[in-house]
Amino acid sequence: MELRQLRHFITLAETLNFSRAAIRLNIAQPALSISIRNLEEEIGARLFDRGSRRVSLTQAGRLTLSSARHSLAHAQDVSRLAGAAATGDAGIVKMTFVGGATFRLLPQRLPEFRRRFPEVEMELTEGTSTQVVERVRTGVVDVGIVRHPVIHPTGLATHVLETEQLVAVVPRTHRLAAKGTIRLRELTSEAFIQYSQLHAPSMHAVVSIACQGAGFMPLVSQEAIQIHTIISLVESGWGVALVPGSCEPTLGRNVTFLRIRDHKEPLKVGLALVTDPLNGTPLVQNLIRILSGQG
């Protein structure tokens, strides 16, 4: 059974006239008659009663019509989706990201991607920068978003999406809370909540280097992986921390965020896209363009 035959059958069922159906299909009437006859022989049932003045559907024809319409629509949908997949307008894309991407980057740019490509299904997972790099490297996901600078992105392409400054976060009752801005060395004697060197190596390195540049090594009281965990520990009185400024509007009710007016360059961090250069499908390229703001 061919899709062409189903199309012929549906058109004749809608017109109940061989001449009008042939005109609509842009084929010769004898060719339509042969197509319908071949279809009936293949099905093993007569689909139309053919009188001298009128054509009508048989009981088998009426039962077959609904299935024929469904099958033809499904086939057309498959064809349309296949074409859309070839241009990156449909399909499945897998992305994993660090928690910091949820503060500003993803809320700003993912809605545009969903609006532009409504037939693309996204599978989103969260992870540490180390996990994100490994998932992209092994092909588990198509695209990753990590903290920048990126540690050991062997064989992966990186593209910085945004940069920002770290700010200090202290308990609201802290002696420095009312100052608004501080010098980094004012935290010399403070207990620090530091990023895990194993799971968040880039952030660990940035904080360590910035503190060294200010003349001290941070006195680490606790280590954590996620930014919201670090801020919760600060709220609980375990110490102070340096966190990306973009998290300020969304996290921490009982903490104060302080601008640091010196050592600006060492305190610069960002979010970067990591991809496998060999994964250049149109779908992945569309996502990269949107996330990069090149829309």
pLDDT, tens digit, 9 for 90 and up, residues 10-40: 888 888 888 888 988 899 988 988 888 988 8
The confidence band for 88, taking pLDDT boundaries of 50, 70 and 90, is: low
The confidence band for 176, taking pLDDT boundaries of 50, 70 and 90, is: very high
Residue 207 and residue 67 in one domain: no
Q: What is the pLDDT of residue 79?
A: 60
Residue 112 and residue 226 in one domain: yes
Residue 95 and residue 82 in one domain: no
Residue 199 and residue 125 in one domain: yes
Residue 158 and residue 79 in one domain: no
Residue 35 and residue 52 in one domain: yes
Out of 25-29, 77-81, 133-137, least confident range: 77-81
Q: Which of 55, 87, 119 is the last residue of a domain?
A: 87
> Minimal CA–CA distance to 222: which of 235, 234, 209?
234
Mean pLDDT of the chain: 87
Q: How far apart are CA 158 and CA 286, in angstroms?
A: 16
CATH of the domain at 31: 1.10.10.10
Say if residue 9's pLDDT is above 90.
no
Residue 229 and residue 277 in one domain: yes
What's the sign of the alpha-carbon dihedral 257, 259, 263, 265? positive
Residue 126 and residue 40 in one domain: no
Residue 184 and residue 277 in one domain: yes
Out of 21-30, 143-152, 159-168, least confident range: 143-152
Q: Which of 46, 62, 87 is the last residue of a domain?
A: 87
Q: Which of 87, 114, 142 is the last residue of a domain?
A: 87
Say if residue 154's pLDDT is above 60.
yes
Q: What is the pLDDT of residue 210?
A: 92
Q: What is the pLDDT of residue 283?
A: 84
Residue 222 and residue 290 in one domain: yes
Residue 203 and residue 284 in one domain: yes
Residue 11 and residue 97 in one domain: no
Tell me how many domains the chain contains. Answer: 2
pLDDT tens-digit map of 235-259: 999 999 999 988 887 776 789 999 9
Please report the DSSP string for 94-146 in residue order: EEEE-GGGGTTHHHHHHHHHHHH-TEEEEEEEE--HHHHHHHHHTTS-SEEEE
The confidence band for 80, taking pLDDT boundaries of 50, 70 and 90, is: low
Give the CA count within 13 Å in the CB-facing half-sphere of 64.
23
Range of the domain at 281: 91-295
Q: Which has more pLDDT, 253 or 162?
A: 162
CATH of the domain at 226: 3.40.190.290
Say if residue 168's pLDDT is above 90.
yes
Average pLDDT over every residue of 117-124 = 88
